[in-house]
Amino acid sequence: MLMKYDYLIVGAGLFGATFAYLARKRGKRCLVIDKRSHAGGNIYCENVEGINVHKYGAHIFHTSDKEVWDFVNSIVPFNRYTNCPVAQAPDGKLHNLPFNMNTFYQMWGVKTPAEAQAKLDEQRRDAVERMKEEGITEPRNLEEQALTLIGCDIYEQLIKGYTEKQWGRKCTELPAFIIRRLPVRMTFDNNYFNDSYQGIPIGGYNRLIDGLLDGVEVKLDTDFFADRARWESIADKIVFTGKIDEFYGYRFGKLEYRTVRFETETLDEPNHQGNAVVNYTAADVPYTRIIEHKHFETFGAAVYDNPHTVISREYSTEWTDGMEPFYPVNDERNQAVYEQYRTLASLESSVIFGGRLAEYKYYDMAPIIAQALNHFK
Ligand code: FAD
């Protein structure tokens, strides 16, 4: 029987859309379905008062992979946004991130790399000695690990409260391996990423998705599982980017996630916090970050052209059914469950599993694109 499509692509997120684009370029007939009422998956933006609001959390594209950068820029040019988050700490001060000479100056008043290094060494030494006095020779948890890596001041002001909110657990109850390294920069450089390229698509992420799906047949509000037999009979191959445990009817159990709840507000002021990302590192502030969306796409005096602004407070939350599955919890139990699904998936000859939900793995956007590009090499 001649199938109507070469590929049925389940999910119009970044993986599904990139796959569809590349397949179409090669003359393949594709149908993309998505259960949401919009394409784009988690990079989708909603326009509020002329501002692109990152509905599923702030997204900053960054990569050192030139092929990926050239590819996305061939679909839509990217702007010069550079992520330079600041942290509002329990001491009431703002500190630059990632930890760099600006942070050390704000924390201790040190002005040269040598002074900063001496202070860091002293802080680490003090922490290790205090632990030794208590008979601790190896860090037993995240708190002890962080203290030995960076010392007390930065841990207390910039790591402890934030990490506890993120994980919903005390740092003393979290395993040490979560923080393997805490890189410090001995330069006055607030650029969060070390990558060669970063930015936001000019006009917003929807332009990227629209460009990828241009000329591709897309059906929204369409859940694969609502009519599985029909969708399985319509194409030679299925590209599945949904949850792998759902694909197999949860037969080995449900995979767990952490998620983020957003409280989004439109304000009658042009510039609320002067930066796209402000972290709140104090334990008594319930949210982890405030995102001010206009700063991803407007710079300098142009910020004042729009009298409104939109902010989102982010609350890190335990995931339950019906919530957006954002971050896989790759602990031993979940990983063991996932391995069983993966074994089944490896036996499929007409299903391609791709993207973050099907692989139960956190991926940034650039690796997702690279994955789709590699598929066609
Ligand atoms: P998704 O975007 O989740 O797309 C999957 C699609 O499949 C969804 O549209 C879903 O509705 C659809 N679907 C699922 N099941 C079905 C079904 N049964 N039937 C039909 N459709 C279905 N990356 C960065 O590079 N920089 C960042 O700053 C960044 N920030 C992030 C912040 C947050 C809060 C999160 C969660 C992720 C962030 N990411 C970031 C990662 C980025 O979101 C992912 O790399 C990317 O969205 C993955 O694309 P995907 O297609 O795999 O998944």
Predicted local confidence at residue 2, as pLDDT:
57
Query: Among this protein's residues, is 130 annotated catalytic?
Result: no
- pLDDT value for 1: 53
Instruction: Give the DSSP letter string of 288-341.
Output: SEEEEGGGGT--GGGGGGSS-EEEEEEEEEE--TTS---EE--SHHHHHHHHHH
Q: How far is the CA of 175 from the centre of ligand 1 (A)?
A: 27
Backbone angles phi, psi at 243, to 5 degrees: -75, 130
CA–CA distance, 9 with 33 (Å, rounded to integer): 6
Q: Give per-residue burial for 226-238: e unless 16+ CB within 10 Å, then b.
A: eeeeebeeebebb
Say what the pLDDT of residue 331 is: 85
Cβ-proximal residues to 123 (8 Å cutoff; 6+ apart), any chain: 150, 151, 152, 153, 154
Of 228, 297, 312, 306, nearest in space to 79 by CA: 297
Find the catalytic residue in 81, 197, 289, 360. Answer: 289
Peptide bond into 328 cis (omega under 30): no
CA–CA distance, 370 with 363 (Å, rounded to integer): 11
User: Is 362 among the catalytic positions?
Assistant: yes
Q: Please, which residues have CB within 8 angstroms of residue 61's CB and are 6 or more apart in sequence? A: 72, 78, 198, 199, 200, 201, 365, 366
From first to last of its 377 residues, the chain has per-residue pLDDT tens of 557 999 999 999 999 999 999 999 999 999 999 999 999 999 999 999 999 999 999 999 999 999 999 999 999 999 999 999 999 999 999 999 999 999 999 999 999 999 999 999 999 999 999 999 999 999 999 999 999 999 999 999 999 999 999 988 999 999 898 888 899 999 999 999 999 999 999 999 999 999 999 999 999 999 999 999 999 999 999 999 999 999 999 999 999 998 999 999 999 999 999 999 999 999 999 999 999 999 999 999 999 999 999 999 999 998 898 888 999 988 889 999 999 999 999 999 999 999 999 999 999 999 999 999 999 99
Ligand 1 pocket by Cβ (under 6 Å): 10-16, 33-36, 41-43, 57-61, 223-225, 241-242, 260, 326, 355-357, 363-366, 368
Distance CA 171, CA 200 (A): 33
Instruction: Compute CA 220 distance to the chain's CA centroid, rounded to the nearest angstrom.
Output: 24
Cα separation, 9 vs 35, whole angstroms:
12
> pLDDT by residue (tens digit) across 132-185?
999 999 999 999 999 999 999 999 999 999 999 998 899 999 989 888 889 999
3-state SS, residue 146 = helix
- Write down the catalytic residue from 36, 124, 258, 342: 258
What would the pLDDT profile of 196-253 be if each residue is shown by its tens digit? 999 999 999 999 999 999 999 999 999 999 999 999 999 999 999 999 999 999 999 9
161 within 8 A of 87, measured Cβ to Cβ: no
State how far the Cα of 357 lies from the Cα of 244, in Å rounded to an integer: 7
Q: Ligand 1 centre and the CA of 135: distance in Å? A: 45
261 as an active site residue: the answer is no
Q: Burial level of 304, CB count in 10 A (0-12/13-18/19+)?
A: exposed
Q: Nearest residue CA, atom 34 of ligand 1?
A: 57
Distance separating alpha carbons of residues 139 and 24, to the nearest angstrom: 53
CB 205 within 8 A of CB 56: no
> What is the rounded distance in angstroms from the CA atom of residue 43 to the CA atom of residue 46?
10
- Has 36 been annotated as catalytic? no
d(CA 198, CA 180): 25
